Each structure stands twice: as C-alpha cells, then as structure tokens.
Structure 1
C-alpha cells in the first residue's frame, strides 16, 4: 500500500484508470468556453489529452523526486489541479444544461453570462497558478541541496 502513496505512482494509476474509462464512454461533444472563446472537442479526445499530460507529469515527478523539497507540495499540486479541472468542467456542464431553459428563466441575462465568464476565468487562472507549485518545489529543493552541500564543504575544510 505504501507504493501507491508515491506521487508518480498515483499519477500513473489515475492516468491508466482514465485511459481505460475513455474506451467505454460514449462520444459526445465538449464545448470549453474560455473567456469568450469556444474550444470544441470530443470528450474522449479531452480525456486522452489529460492522460498523456498525467503520464508526462508522472515522469517529471519520478525523475525529479529526490530534488523536490516537500512531498506535501507535490500532493497539493496534484489534488488542486484535479479539483480545479473538475470544478471548471462542472460549471461548464451546468452552463450547457442551462441553455436548454434559457427562455424560461432569467439565466439569459447579461449578468449571468458575465458571472459565468468570471467564474471560468478565475478557475482557469487558479489552475495555471497551481502549475507553478512543482517549479517552486523544485527550486526550493535545489536551493536546500546546494546549501547543505556548501555547509558540508565548509565543515570538511
């Protein structure tokens, strides 16, 4: 059980699970609205894109695990990335569903669309900022290693 609690093993397991799931879900269109621009792709393409990114991220964590300063920062990066992505997709999904009842409710107002775009932009920017966590973790880890190496050199001379 201890082996799954390594960040890179968790990412490989999660990516493999997503890849297997992508073979069994029906194909549907996924419209991603990002600040007045729509990106249209199938849900399977989107899932497989994330599978590739998760495998690359697992390789990154596997190769650089010994240089990372804190394991908790790595887990924070992974969990926040997944949660922010799911929150973005949920808000986008609820927006697409609300288009069906736009004439029946007040959800067609300009304020609703502005609020939606602000929410999506905030989640998107939060996701991008969270991607800085592994870089910060790596820089701090390298600085710690350098400081300890300098301290060892001073103490041996």
Structure 2
C-alpha cells in the first residue's frame, strides 16, 4: 500500500529545501529490492556500501557518480552457447541508485567474493565548516585615535 503525503504546506514556509521534499516523495517509488545491499557508517565522515553481485564480473558492472547521485549498473553479457537446466542465480540486469548528500565523494570500489564494496567520504569545504564568530562589546572595541593636530590644541 502506497501512501501519498502532501508537502505543499512545507513549500509555503521553507526556502531551499525542495530537494529534501523531492527525496521524500520519491523514496516510496524505489520498490526494487534486488540486489541486496548494506550501508555502513565506518567513521565520522566515512561510509561503505556493499552490494551482493554474485555472478557478475568486474567488466559487467559500472559505477557512475553524478551530482548527488551514485548509480550502480549491472548487465550480464549473454552467452548463447550455454543452455541452463536450472538457473538459480539471479543475474538479471539491475540499476541501483543511491542519493548522496552534498560534498560526499566516492573514494573507490572493489569487487571481492561476489560483493561490490564502494567507499564514500564526506568532504566539507573549509569555507562551509562551522566557525566561531567573536561578539564585540563596547569594552572590546578599540579606543578611537585622536588626530595629532587636535592634541596640541
């Protein structure tokens, strides 16, 4: 059962959050649960996505990092000479999309024992990091300097 939420009241009172509301609206559209995956936070700003891709070779997988989106594609090359008596491994083509936050970069990926491991890191630019602002009071303001000509008068 799909529930639809009306986010229009939030649009009236918020500015710049359009992307968040789009994410919430589109979250229920991703009903595909294959291939299975894990997302793990391995540090303060480090993450790891592990996708079970048994049966896929390295050249049958592509990873694309677009703006705020990580896309993993898997497409098995068809071998017409093979005739399966039973095919229990699900090697159908897939596309798995992961919405990334701002400033998340892909550090690398490796295929090991049927698992595709993708390492991510959040790199916030220095100018975007929080900084402390000094509060000035009358006592901390520098004393005004007199002009030399007025001292002699």
Q: Normalized against structure 1, the TM-score is what?
A: 0.31
Higher Rg of the two aligned structures: 2
Larger proportion of helix: 1
Larger proportion of strand: 2
For CA contacts below 8 A with separation 6 or more, give which structure has more relative contact order. 1
